[in-house]
Amino acid sequence: MSDNESSIGGFGWFLAGLGLGALVGVLYAPKSGKETREDIVAGALEARDRANQVYNQGVEQVNQFVQQGKQTADEYVDKGKQYYDKGRTQWAEYVDKGKDLIQSQTDAAKAAVEAGKEAFVAKSSATAKPSETTPVA
């Protein structure tokens, strides 16, 4: 962008020099005062018109850059939303997997405790029955 600005600035100086050269040429030309004044006014009007044209071109360029900036910012915002949604979805999946794992481990632990209770009860009743039937002397 700095190259573009320097070329516009250089062109502006060129126009200023051109205008000054025309003004000096008009002042030294063998014309009447009225003709000289008319030429100066015409040159000033041309310079004003050219300055307005350069200004309008600059405004158009700035508007284009602003539009490009807005589009780029919108693209980044959309990408950010996509990444956020993707991360949130993955997080929810991991939480659900974790809950399922905890539930399966809890069920396995409960089953092991119940199996242990049943084994204890079976072992207790097996050892208690033979001693009851054996007479004590």
CB distance 69 to 19 below 8 Å: no
- DSSP tally for the chain: helices H, then strands E: 2, 0
User: Where does the pLDDT of residue 10 fall: very low under 50, low under 70, confident under 90, or very high at 90 and above?
Assistant: confident
Both ends of the chain: CA-CA distance in Å?
Answer: 114
CB distance 39 to 26 below 8 Å: yes
Counting residues of the chain whose pLDDT is more than 90, the rounded percentage is 50
Quick one: how far is CA 9 from the chain centroid?
Answer: 33
DSSP annotation of 98 reads H
Q: Inform me whether the pLDDT recorded for 104 exceeds 80.
A: yes
The confidence score (pLDDT) of residue 17 equals 85
pTM value is 0.44
Counting residues of the chain whose pLDDT is more than 70, the rounded percentage is 83
Q: How far is CA 33 from CA 2, 30, 42, 43, 62, in A?
A: 44, 9, 14, 15, 43
3-state secondary structure of 61: helix
23-81: pLDDT as tens digits: 777 677 676 778 778 878 888 899 899 999 999 999 999 999 999 999 999 999 999 99
DSSP annotation of 31 reads -
12 vs 6: CA distance, rounded Å: 10
Q: The tokens 């700035």 sit on which residue? A: 62
115 vs 105: CA distance, rounded Å: 15
